[in-house]
Amino acid sequence: MSDDLERDGAKDQLKGTLKEGEGHLRDAVGGLTGDNSEQLKGKAQQVKGKVQRKIGEAETDADRDL
pLDDT digits 0-9 by tens, 50-65: 999 999 999 988 877 6
Query: What is the predicted pLDDT for the residue at 38?
Result: 98
pTM of the entire predicted model = 0.85
On the 0-12 / 13-18 / 19+ scale of CB atoms within 10 A, 57 is middle
Question: Cα(2)–Cα(63) distance, rounded to whole angstroms?
Answer: 5
Residue-range domain boundaries for the chain: 2-65
DSSP run (H or E) holding 16: helix 2-33
Question: Cα(57)–Cα(25) distance, rounded to whole angstroms?
Answer: 23
Mean pLDDT of 24-45: 98
Rg, Å, the chain Cα set = 15
Would you say 14 and 57 are in contact if contact means Cβ atoms under 8 Å apart?
Answer: no
For residue 2, is pLDDT > 60? no
